Amino acid sequence: MSSATMPGYEIAHARPRSIFTRFERKQELQHTTHFCPGCGHGILHKMVGRAIDELGIQDRTIMVGPVGCSVFTYHYFDVGHVMSAHGRAPAVATGVRRSRPQSIVLSYQGDGDLSAIGLAEIVHAANRGENVTVIFVNNAVYSMTGGQAAPTTLLGMKTATTPLGRSAAKEGYPLRMSELLATLEAPVYIERVGLGDNRSIVQAQRAVRRAIENQVKGLGFSLVEVLAPCPTIWKKSPVEAQRWVRSAMEKSFPLGVFRDRSKDAAPWPADEAAPDLEKIPEILGVAGAELPESPVLALAADVPVDLEVRVAGFGGQGVLLLGEVLAEAGLEAGLEVSWLPSYGPEMRSGTSNCHVRIAREPIDTPLVAAPHLLVAMNEPALRKFAAQVAQGGTILYNGAAFPEQLQRPDLRVIARPFAEIALELGNPRAMNMVMLGALLELVGVLPAACVRAALAQLVPNPKWQELDLRAIARGRAMAV
Ligand SMILES: Cc1ncc(C[n+]2csc(CCOP(=O)(O)OP(=O)(O)O)c2C)c(N)n1
């Protein structure tokens, strides 16, 4: 018989249901968290878990975890998760919340994350009044990386990067994020709480719940700043660290409510139902307008297409145009496409590459990390990208001899002097189109009519169009 069912026993504290019973981390540590003894994150995790339970939102909660000691939220919370780059959690939370209006989105961020690298993101998300909840864990340092100064480091506080203590003259004053954000119009609720003693902890629990509940009610942006102990980096015992929250941190960062419109805020406007799709042409003022006939020649639905291409070379070699014509041809064939250019720091003669995807199904990301097909217009491009080509993929290389060291037995390599063909055609700049021709021949599925239509869009000058069509035809013959 467990204590829960034993007469006379009452459970006062229990693990929140939204927190896992075992943590999928190192085998021997599945019952412990990675937080140090006395760490504020651990206490706060429990509070967030409890609020999720109480509000009954576990099934629709999505946590956004950025970089810092908060990064492992997915080990602990049995909810949805999205990881974000350092500081970008409010931007990611915005995207998640707007695309999934029924979800409850928590952006869980440290002070380095939120007030240094992510300062712009939090200010703009707050200023837009996004209907998300931000849990802001202020421990006055970058803990995960070993205790460098953060914008919130206290004056006089010694850190790895302020060994003599933070000075206002050199490093500026501690940034009071709650006060700063409370100058904006849109936020609904901003409170600073502390984990310095039990009374404060009870208040912090209330604030966390309120900040999440506001979102459940659709009220808009809420943020709770939590002054959290970090015994390890502060080089204090857990008890000393907790005391220091009260004696030092609360002096620099006074606790309090800086904004509270929870009672009178109107529901967040962007949560209103989206207009009917049929009404959109009317709203955009294009109802009844003649839309161009598209696609030019739709591929039969049973032709499978899932193509990931990387095109690379020097700026000026027409890398981006090749990718654009390819993607546009896909569009003309009624397919899903993406084209993502990637520029080097220089313009002409710098490196340049682009990612192209063409698929039957909607495309999740425009990034092509493991191309099926690499078009390398020169040797540096080949060196840079050859190793990334997916197993069984193909490399089209502009050069008669493929460098020995880059050979891979699992790849098909078509190395041809494409540049010479362009010269024969009378213009070295047509090399990209010669390579496009070879590529199209390899890909096979894109109808010639779609390629012509794409070219007409992107290269309107008839003189160049005619040259490009000839170049494509020559390239096709070279692929076999
Ligand atoms: C773009 C980027 N820059 C720097 C880092 C290194 N980095 C990892 S954690 C961290 C600081 C996190 O500090 P904070 O947000 O205060 O969280 P804490 O660890 O104190 O909870 C930094 C700078 C990184 N991972 N990514």
Q: How far is the CA of 62 from the centre of ligand 1 (A)?
A: 21
pLDDT in tens, 103-138: 999 999 999 999 999 999 999 999 999 999 999 999
Q: How far is the CA of 60 from the centre of ligand 1 (A)?
A: 28
Residue 345 pLDDT: 55
d(CA 475, CA 480): 10
66-95 mean pLDDT = 95
Nearest CA to ligand 1 atom 10: 68
Degrees to nearest 5, angle at CA 30 with 27 and 36: 115
Residue 267 pLDDT: 81
Query: Confidence class of residue 5 from pLDDT cuts 50, 70 and 90?
Result: low
- 114 Cα nearest atom in ligand 1: 15
Q: How far is the CA of 147 from the centre of ligand 1 (A)?
A: 10
Using a 10 angstrom Cβ sphere, with 0-12 exposed, 13-18 middle and 19 or more buried, the burial of residue 229 is buried
Residue 418 pLDDT: 95
Q: How far is the CA of 145 from the centre of ligand 1 (A)?
A: 6
d(CA 279, CA 7): 63
d(CA 42, CA 1): 30
Which amino acid is present at 449?
A
Q: How far is the CA of 69 from the centre of ligand 1 (A)?
A: 8
d(CA 292, CA 294): 6
Contact of 422 with 401, CB cutoff 8 Å? no
d(CA 384, CA 363): 25
Pocket test for ligand 1, best of 69, 71, 86 (most atoms within 8 A of CB): 86
Residue 10 pLDDT: 84
Using a 10 angstrom Cβ sphere, with 0-12 exposed, 13-18 middle and 19 or more buried, the burial of residue 133 is buried
68-77 mean pLDDT = 91
Considering only 2-6, 91-95, 177-181, 410-414, which range has the smallest mean pLDDT? Answer: 2-6
Residues with C-beta less than 6 Å from any ligand 1 atom: 67-70, 86, 110-113, 137, 139, 141-145, 150
DSSP assignment string, 114-176: IIIITHHHHHHHHHHT-S-EEEEEE-SEETTTT-EE-TTPPTT--BTTBTT---HHHH-PPP-
Nearest CA to ligand 1 atom 24: 86
Domains of the chain by residue range: 27-271, 306-478
390-395 mean pLDDT = 95
223-229 mean pLDDT = 98
Considering only 23-27, 196-200, 292-296, 357-361, which range has the smallest mean pLDDT? Answer: 292-296
Does residue 409 have a cis peptide bond before it, meaning omega lies within 30 degrees of 0? no
Nearest CA to ligand 1 atom 13: 142
d(CA 132, CA 129): 8
Pairing of strands 141-142, 189-194: unpaired
Q: How far is the CA of 68 from the centre of ligand 1 (A)?
A: 4
Pocket test for ligand 1, best of 73, 107, 144, 232 (most atoms within 8 A of CB): 144
Q: What is the CATH number of domain 27-271?
A: 3.40.50.970
Query: Confidence class of residue 1 from pLDDT cuts 50, 70 and 90?
Result: very low
pLDDT in tens, 20-53: 999 887 777 888 888 999 999 999 999 999 999 9
Nearest CA to ligand 1 atom 9: 68
4-11 mean pLDDT = 76
More confident residue, 6 or 99: 99
Q: How far is the CA of 152 from the centre of ligand 1 (A)?
A: 14
pLDDT in tens, 435-451: 999 999 998 989 999 99
Contact of 143 with 230, CB cutoff 8 Å? yes
- 116 Cα nearest atom in ligand 1: 15
Using a 10 angstrom Cβ sphere, with 0-12 exposed, 13-18 middle and 19 or more buried, the burial of residue 260 is middle
Q: Is the pTM of this model over 0.75?
A: no
Q: How far is the CA of 207 from the centre of ligand 1 (A)?
A: 25
Nearest CA to ligand 1 atom 8: 68
Residue 346 pLDDT: 46
- 109 Cα nearest atom in ligand 1: 15
Q: How far is the CA of 83 from the centre of ligand 1 (A)?
A: 13
Considering only 26-30, 336-340, 384-388, 450-454, which range has the smallest mean pLDDT? Answer: 26-30
Q: What is the CATH number of domain 306-478?
A: 3.40.920.10
Radius of gyration in angstroms for the set of CA atoms belonging to the chain, rounded to a whole number: 29
* Mean model confidence pLDDT for the chain: 92
